[in-house]
Amino acid sequence: MKRAGLKSGQKVLEVGCGPGFFTIPAAAIVGDKRFIYAVDIHPLAIKRVNEKIQQKGMQNISPILTNASDTDLPDQSIDLAFLFDLQYIAGGLENVISEIYRILIKDGVFSFEKTRGSEKKLIEEVVSGGFVFSGKQGRIFSFVKAI
Domains of the chain: 2-145 (3.40.50.150)
One digit per residue, the tens of pLDDT, for the chain of length 147 reads 878 899 999 999 999 999 999 999 999 999 988 899 999 999 999 999 999 999 999 999 999 999 999 999 999 999 999 998 665 565 668 889 999 999 999 999 999 887 777 889 889 999 999 999 999 998 899 999 987
pTM: 0.92
Q: Given this model, what pLDDT does residue 71 score?
A: 94
Class of residue 96 by CB neighbours under 10 A (exposed 0-12, middle 13-18, buried 19+): buried
Kindly list the strands in the beta sheet with 140-145, ordered across the sheet, starting from the edge strand earlier in the chain.
61-65, 35-40, 11-15, 78-83, 104-113, 140-145, 131-137
The torsion angles phi and psi of 91, rounded to 5 degrees, stand at 90, -10
Instruction: Return d(Cα 68, Cα 99) in angstroms, integer.
Output: 7
From the number of C-beta atoms within 10 Å of its C-beta (0-12, 13-18, 19+), residue 141 rates as buried
Q: What is the pairing mode between strands 140-145 and 104-113?
A: antiparallel
pLDDT at residue 87, rounded to an integer: 53
Is residue 65 classed as helix, strand or coil in its secondary structure? strand
